[in-house]
Amino acid sequence: MTWIIAALTVRQLAGRGRTILIGLFALLPVALAVIFRLGSSSTVPEDWTARVLLEGLTVTTVLPLVALVYGTAALGAEIEDGTAVYLLAKPIPRSRIIFAKLLGAWVITSVTVLLSSVAASLIALGGLGGGRIVPGFAVALVAGSFVYTAVFVMLSVYTSRALLAGLAYVFIWEGLINGLFSGTRLLSVRHYTLGMADGIVDLPSYFFEAKLGVVTSIVLAVVVTCLATWKAIRRLERFEIGETT
């Protein structure tokens, strides 16, 4: 049943009009990579790809926003429009519902971001995988997608304003506060993602260097994912049919 719900979730998310906008948004890194290759810049491709294209754009903006849209819509959209009653009324453990929704949102998020980042990276690098940039960031983005999705699915179960809460987290917490106070990076999915990428990417530190170590990033990513999933399950278990968040 979990796989069936997850497959239906992917179909529902992919069939919505927002998918077209997300697809166009995900093409932004590709467009910038094409512009970079066509330009006469003397910038080292590995430097620009890792620091600007992947860290500065994909991990910082594209990944969290794509995960936010799909993560909050996976279950939150059904709760808001009242159709969640048909799922919650079935004799299915609420934990399976959360796992299925999380899995579905993660699949479509990671596929979208992965296709965008890999295509853009290969274009920017001229087809060369210098410094293990492509595999390093690919693995990190897939892992980061899962953490982000877990957090945003949890938000959608707690509040009908999950999209606004997620935007505040992405732009205020990760974008502003993380830049002012280094200790807040321990609660930043963005930095977990960069830390995991840095564990695979083989580039000089002046090209790319994460603020968190790879072990710290993995441990914190697992902790945050498990906590967010557990909180979402607990909230859904207390959720009454007909209730709105």
**Distance of alpha carbon 224 from alpha carbon 239, whole angstroms:** 22
In the predicted model, is pLDDT for residue 240 greater than 80?
A: no
Torsion of CA 235, 237, 243, 245, to 10 degrees: 10
pLDDT, tens digit, 9 for 90 and up, residues 76-128: 777 776 677 777 777 788 889 999 999 999 999 999 999 999 999 999 988 76
Q: Which of 19-23, 109-113, 183-187, 239-243 has the lowest mean pLDDT?
A: 239-243
Residue 135 CA neighbour count, 13 Å, CB half: 9
- Residue 178: what pLDDT? 83
Burial (Cβ within 10 Å: 0-12, 13-18, ≥19) of residue 19: middle
Q: What is the DSSP string of 132-176?
A: GHHHHHHHHHHHHHHHHHHHHHHHHHH-TTHHHHHHIIIIIIIII
Inform me whether the pLDDT recorded for 241 exceeds 70: no
Confidence band of 20 (pLDDT split at 50, 70, 90): confident
| Average pLDDT of the chain to the nearest whole number | 88
Write down the pLDDT at residue 116: 95
When comparing pLDDT for 66 and 241, which is higher? 66
Residues 24-63 have pLDDT tens digits of: 999 999 999 999 988 867 788 888 999 999 999 999 999 9
Residue 244 has pLDDT above 60, yes or no: no
Question: What is the per-residue pLDDT across 200-220, written as a single tens digit (0 to 9) for each?
Answer: 998 888 788 898 999 999 999
Residue 61 has a pLDDT of 95
